[in-house]
A = this chain, B = another copy of it.
Amino acid sequence: MTVSSMGTHVVTQIAVVVKDIDKAIEAYSRIFDLPKPEVHLTDPPEKAKGVYRGTPTTSRAKLAFFHMGQVDIELIEPVGEDSVWYEVLAEKGEGVHHIAFQIKDTDGVTAFLDQNGIPTIQQGRYTGGMYSYVDSAPQLGVMLELLENFGQS
């Protein structure tokens, strides 16, 4: 089936790339009076099977999530330099890295976006699903992340 749009317009995450995730967690917790979330390290390369700009990558990231209503604020501290996380931090400094959407058909949506001039930059897996970052910033002003959880109808 040909996909002719993202298939959703519900933002689920706003991701902020930072240099020091522990320091950022302290600040969010204090300003919003929220409990400090745990820091997770993304899966190791053999499990994440990350591909960054066409080449397998061993880079990872530290992640932490604050629940802010319908959306989560995701803090990201890059670990290693071969990732879209490090790339954005190095080029533009700390800031919003992407906004995320739950989608259903990664191959279909990435093909649709590619036809609209938005190529995929990085893909990888997490337990229960996969992620794709697409180069939407030139058109939308912000990078999108597509999240597909497996085993959901």
Q: Which residues of A contact B (CB under 8 A)?
A: 4-6, 9-12, 14, 16-18, 24, 27-28, 30-34, 66-71, 73, 75, 92-96, 99, 113, 116, 118, 136-137, 139-142
User: Which B residue's beta carbon lies closest to that of A30?
Assistant: B116
**Cα–Cα distance between A32 and B27 once the two chains are bound (Å):** 33
Contact A32 B16 (CB under 8 A): no
Residues of B contacting A71 with CB < 8 Å? 11, 69-71
- Shortest beta-carbon distance, A43 to chain B, in Å? 24
Closest 10 CB pairs of A and B: A10-B69, A96-B96, A5-B33, A70-B70, A27-B139, A16-B141, A94-B141, A9-B32, A11-B68, A18-B141
User: Which B residue's beta carbon lies closest to that of A4?
Assistant: B33
Residues of B contacting A11 with CB < 8 Å? 14, 68-71, 73
Name the prevailing secondary structure of the A interface residues. mixed
- Shortest beta-carbon distance, A78 to chain B, in Å? 13
Contact A93 B96 (CB under 8 A): no
Contact B32 A6 (CB under 8 A): yes
Residues of B contacting A139 with CB < 8 Å? 24, 27, 31
What are some 28 contacts across the A-B interface (CB < 8 A)?
A: A5-B31, A5-B33, A6-B31, A6-B33, A9-B32, A9-B67, A10-B70, A11-B14, A11-B68, A11-B69, A11-B70, A14-B14, A14-B96, A14-B99, A16-B140, A17-B141, A18-B141, A24-B139, A24-B141, A27-B140, A30-B116, A31-B140, A70-B70, A70-B71, A75-B141, A92-B92, A92-B95, A94-B141
